């Protein structure tokens, strides 16, 4: 996990795009208008929570593996049908 500072995402190390860290009003922060997935916050170890904001990319929900697979139709299936002997 990257070192923590107020302008870097503690999960990926990229800019967290935090308005408050940039000295702007909290209402101008991306997290006030976009959802933050609870599981994203749970990926932070307890000792890293509350020190820096996570970035918009890391705040998105992680899709389940089954949701990421496109299931081909029978006509498109890459594997030949099995035959019994």
Question: In whole angstroms, how large is the CA radius of gyration of the chain?
Answer: 20
pLDDT digits (tens, 9 = 90+) for 26-64: 999 999 999 999 999 999 988 888 888 999 999 998 776
Contact (Cβ atoms closer than 8 angstroms) between residue 17 and residue 59: no
Q: Which pLDDT belongs to residue 64? A: 63
Q: Residue 84: pLDDT above 80?
A: no
Q: pLDDT confidence of 77, banded at 50, 70, 90?
A: very low
C-alpha to C-alpha distance for 81 and 72, rounded to whole angstroms: 14
C-alpha to C-alpha distance for 75 and 30, rounded to whole angstroms: 44
C-alpha to C-alpha distance for 53 and 40, rounded to whole angstroms: 11
The strand pairing partners of 8, in sequence order, are: 15
Q: What is the pTM of this model?
A: 0.65
Q: Which pLDDT belongs to residue 32? A: 93
Question: Higher-confidence residue: 5 or 11?
Answer: 11
């Amino acid at each position: 996990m990257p070192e923590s500072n107020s302008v870097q995402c503690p999960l990926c190390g990229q800019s967290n795009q935090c308005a408050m860290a940039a000295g702007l009003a909290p209402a101008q922060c991306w997290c006030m208008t976009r959802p933050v997935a609870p599981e994203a916050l749970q990926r932070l170890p307890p000792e890293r929570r509350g020190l820096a904001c996570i970035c918009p990319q890391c705040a998105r929900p992680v899709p389940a593996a089954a949701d990421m697979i496109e299931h081909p139709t029978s006509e498109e299936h890459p594997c030949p049908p099995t035959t019994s002997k």
